[in-house]
Amino acid sequence: MQNEIRRLLVRLESLTVFRDLLKDEVVERFIRLLETCAEKQSSKEFVSRYSDFLHQLVEHGMMLKLPGIRSFGEYLIHAILYRENSVSKMAEQVSSGQLPGWMAQELAKELNILGELAALSSRRIKSEWLQNHDHESAEIISDLPEWDTCPKAHSIFEPGKPWGEGSTRLLDFYSKYGSGIFARYKGFIWERSGDKGSLRGVDDPDPVRLSDFIGYELQRNEIVENTLQFIKGYPANNLLLYGDRGTGKSSTVKALLNEYYTLGLRIIEIPKELLADFGQILGIIRNRPQKFIAFIDDLSFSDEESSYTALKAVLEGSLENRPANLLVYATTNRRHLIKERFSDRAGLTSGQADDEIHAADTMQEKLSLADRFGMTITFTAPDRDEYLEIVEGLAHKRGIRVEKDVLHKKAIQWEMLYNGRSPRTALQFINWLEGHQKMNWESGG
């Protein structure tokens, strides 16, 4: 067994495709643990490295939103799927049959090595150390907690079989879902720390689906048609979703992600104050096979802001063309995205020396940003009948049984007391009604 571990440690050094895994904190600590079995190490060092590895395994499982992870094999599979490597980046661009022969063979070989690594059980490692070292700490070592050996059943790696046999399925996964963070996440938020921006994957995106909506079919059909054209590689437009608050503009964009993620759609939400980072974002997604929607929610600018010029450059095209795999979808409650003041108009006839000579040009520049979107989809607040139709539809979806007249009366009272007529208000009313009914039912009321 000691010779097997030494041989495996040497084979790990031959990794090429998955070489970055050797720098992974969990994998690195597992290797250090195995080295205590291959070398003459004290019991204190063994216990320290064993506990350090298990701690890192659990901690990283929590960070990866895999709470309670106990299988090293499960962790390794997650790393194989979602860490970029030379094969994954190439496989997302071309079919598996177009990969160089040596690369496919190397992939299978290295998967077998990683599978052997994952198969080393904690019990076997403890037994190996005890066989080749003094037993003064045998009781302590025997009582060390253990991790599961075999990962859960997986669609790529079959239990009990060499991992290399799943190489073709792994290539198909890279081809369908991409590699790295674009395989693991479907939605992202652009963030900045200091002068550096980065994409943060959204672990729990809003689960809303297009089928959840009631009303506004014409508007959503236009948005869906434009999005499908984009996904299929046909010309499509940037969209401005304009209208009253609570009418479902933002939720519609989020629903697109849940509908078309498997077709390669990804969404990056960009806070308007970070629009100047568009150049960095374009550099990250350029040449990726996925289709990206840059989503800007509640878009408007004050007259002092200049970041709208970055958005204008992306919409119109600057010296560096907007990549073909990016569209911009924005929502707003304002028809004119840049706030205009009466003082702007005063500049047209002002005789003040400090006023701009070409004030009309400046005013027109401010008012024309919305025109640079290819299409403007308008969402207006529903009238009374439309509002009640939405309420009825939501009640039916939730299985809420209330007399129609009573439902209408309570819905009208709700919108008068709270936020006015809108699909959002209808949803809030239904949430209250459903919760109220269930609470009364459970309490026997």
Q: How many CA atoms lie within 13 A of 89 on its CB side?
A: 8
Q: Are 303 and 341 in contact (CB under 8 A)?
A: yes
For residue 127, pLDDT over 60 is answered with: yes
Task: Find the range with the poorest average confidence among 1-15, 188-202, 261-275.
Answer: 1-15
pLDDT given for residue 359 in this prediction = 45
Name the one residue in this structure whose structure tokens are 């190490």.
Answer: 41
**370: burial class by Cβ within 10 Å (0-12, 13-18, 19+)?**
middle
Predicted confidence (pLDDT) at residue 110 exceeds the cutoff of 60: yes
Q: Is the dihedral of CA 436, 437, 441, 445 positive or negative?
A: positive
The two tokens of residue 3 are 């010779």
Q: What pLDDT was estimated at residue 137?
A: 78
Would the pLDDT of 342 be above 60?
no
Q: Where are the domains of the chain?
A: 2-182, 189-379, 384-442
pLDDT digits (tens, 9 = 90+) for 168-219: 899 989 988 888 999 999 999 999 988 889 999 998 899 999 999 999 999 9
User: What mean pLDDT do residues 323-334 have?
Assistant: 89
Distance CA(294)–CA(329), nearest Å, equals 6
Mean pLDDT of 123-144: 82
Q: What pLDDT is stored for residue 14 in this prediction?
A: 95
pLDDT of res. 41: 77
| Residues whose CB is less than 8 angstroms from the CB of residue 152 and which lie 6 or more positions away in sequence, other chains included | 71, 74
CATH no., domain 189-379: 3.40.50.300
pLDDT above 70: residue 6: yes
The pTM assigned to this predicted structure is: 0.82
Rounded Cα distance, 177 and 265, in Å: 10
Mapping DSSP to helix (H, G, I), strand (E, B) and coil, where does residue 231 land?
helix
